[in-house]
Copies of this chain bind each other. A is one copy, B any other.
Amino acid sequence: MKKLSLGLFLLTVLFFPTKAQQDKEIVDSFFQNAISDYTAYEQLRYLTKNIGGRLTGSPEAAAAIEYTFQELKNMGFDSVYLQEIMVPNWVRGEKEIARISSTVYGTTEMHATALGLSIGTGKDGLWAQVIEVKNFDELKKLGEKKIKGKIVFFNRAATTKQYHTGNAYGSAINQRTEGAVQAAQYGAIGVLIRSVGTAHDFNPHTGVMHYKEGVNKIPSIAISTNDADILSLQLKQDVELNVYFRTTCHQRPDVKSYNVIAEIKGTEKPDEIILVGGHLDSWDNGEGAHDDGTGVVQSIEVLRLFKALGIKPKHTIRAVLFMDEEVMQRGGKAYAREVKEKQEKHIFAIESDGGGALPLGFSIDANKEITQKIKAWQELFLPWGIYNFRNGGSGVDIGPLKEQGIALAGLIVNSQKYFDFHHAPNDVFENVNQREMQLGAAGMAALIYLIDKYGL
Q: Which of B31, B358, B387 contacts A414 (CB 8 A)?
A: B358
CA A273 – CA B420 in complex, angstroms? 39
Cα–Cα, bound, A56→B270 (Å): 64
- Most chain B C-beta atoms within 10 Å of own C-beta, residue among A165, A388, A417: A417
- The segment from A210-218, A241-249, A431-439 found at the interface with B is A431-439
Q: Decide yes or no whether A163 CB sits under 8 A from chain B.
A: yes
Chain B residues with CB under 8 Å of A165's CB are: 435
**Among A32, A160, A165, A385, residue most surrounded by chain B Cβ atoms (within 10 Å):** A385
A384 to B360, CA, bound (A): 12
**Interface residue ranges of A211-230 to B (CB < 8 Å):** none
Is A383 part of the binding interface, using a Cβ–Cβ cutoff of 8 Å?
yes
Output the least CB separation between A285 and chain B (Å): 20
331-354 of chain A: CB within 8 A of chain B:
none
| Copies of this chain | 2
Cross-chain contact A383 with B163 (CB below 8 angstroms): yes
Give per-residue flags for A416-456: 1 if the beta carbon is below 8 A from chain B beta carbons, else 0.
11001000000000000101100100000000000000000
B161 touches A416 (CB 8 A): no
Q: Does A63 contact B (CB under 8 A)?
A: no
B36/A163 in contact, CB under 8 A: no
Does A198 have its Cβ within 8 Å of any Cβ on chain B? Answer: yes
Q: Which residues of B contact A36 (CB under 8 A)?
A: 160-161
A residues 155-201 in Cβ contact with B at 8 Å: 160-163, 165, 198
Q: Chain B nearest CB: distance from A217 CB in Å?
A: 37
Query: Once the chains bind, are A417 and B388 in contact (CB under 8 Å)?
Result: no
Contact of A436 among B35, B384, B417 (CB under 8 A): B417
Give the docked Cα–Cα distance between A388 and B31 (Å): 19
Q: In the complex, which residues 46-66 of chain A have their Cβ closer than 8 Å to any Cβ of chain B?
A: none
With A161-B32, A163-B31 in contact, is A385–B360 under 8 Å at CB?
Answer: yes
Interface hits, A383-416 → B, CB 8 Å: 383-385, 387-388, 414, 416
- Distance from A32 Cβ to chain B, minimum over Cβ atoms (Å): 5
Please give me the residue from chain B that is nearest to A32 by CB atom. B161
**Known: A358-B414, A414-B414. Is A163-B384 also a contact (CB below 8 A)?**
yes
CA distance A160 to B162 in the complex (A): 33
When distances are taken between beta carbons in the complex, the residues of chain B under 8 Å from A160 are 35-36, 435
Instruction: Collect the chain B residues with CB atoms within 8 Å of residue A387's CB.
Output: 387-388
Given known A416-B439, A417-B433, contact A163–B385 (CB-CB < 8 A): yes
Contact between B358 and A198 (Cβ–Cβ < 8 Å)? Answer: no
Given known pairs A35-B161, A36-B161, A160-B36, the reply for A416 and B388 (CB within 8 Å) is: no
List the B side residues contacting A435 at CB < 8 Å: 160, 165, 198, 416-417
Whose C-beta in chain B lies nearest to the C-beta of A358? B414
> Which A residues, 20 to 45, have Cβ-Cβ distances below 8 Å to chain B?
31-32, 35-36
A385 CA to B161 CA, complexed, in Å: 14
Cross-chain contact of A420 among B385, B416, B433 (Cβ < 8 A) = B433
Alpha-carbon separation in the docked complex, A426 to B383 (Å): 29
Residues in B with CB closer than 8 Å to A31 are: 163
Chain A window 126-165, contacts with chain B (Cβ cutoff 8 Å), 1 for yes, 0 for no: 0000000000000000000000000000000000111101
Taking CB as reference atom, which chain B residue is nearest A38? B200
Q: Are B416 and A358 in contact (CB under 8 A)?
A: yes
A163 contact set on B, CB distance < 8 A: 31, 35, 383-385, 439
**Which residues of B are found within 8 Å of A32, using beta-carbon distances?**
161-162
Question: From A360, which residue of chain B is reached at the shortest CB distance?
Answer: B385
Residue of B nearest to A436 (CB): B416
> Using an 8 Å CB-CB cutoff, how does the interface string of A372-387 with B read, 1 for contact, 0 for none?
0000000000011101
4 closest residue pairs by CB, A with B: A416-B435, A32-B161, A416-B436, A36-B161
Q: Show 20 A/B contacts (Cβ-Cβ < 8 Å), sorted by A.
A: A31-B163, A32-B161, A32-B162, A35-B163, A36-B160, A36-B161, A163-B385, A163-B439, A165-B435, A198-B435, A358-B414, A358-B416, A360-B385, A385-B414, A387-B387, A414-B414, A416-B433, A416-B435, A416-B439, A417-B435
Known contacts A35-B160, A163-B385, A416-B435; 12 further A-B pairs (Cβ under 8 A): A32-B161, A36-B160, A160-B435, A163-B383, A163-B439, A358-B416, A385-B414, A416-B433, A416-B436, A416-B439, A417-B435, A420-B433
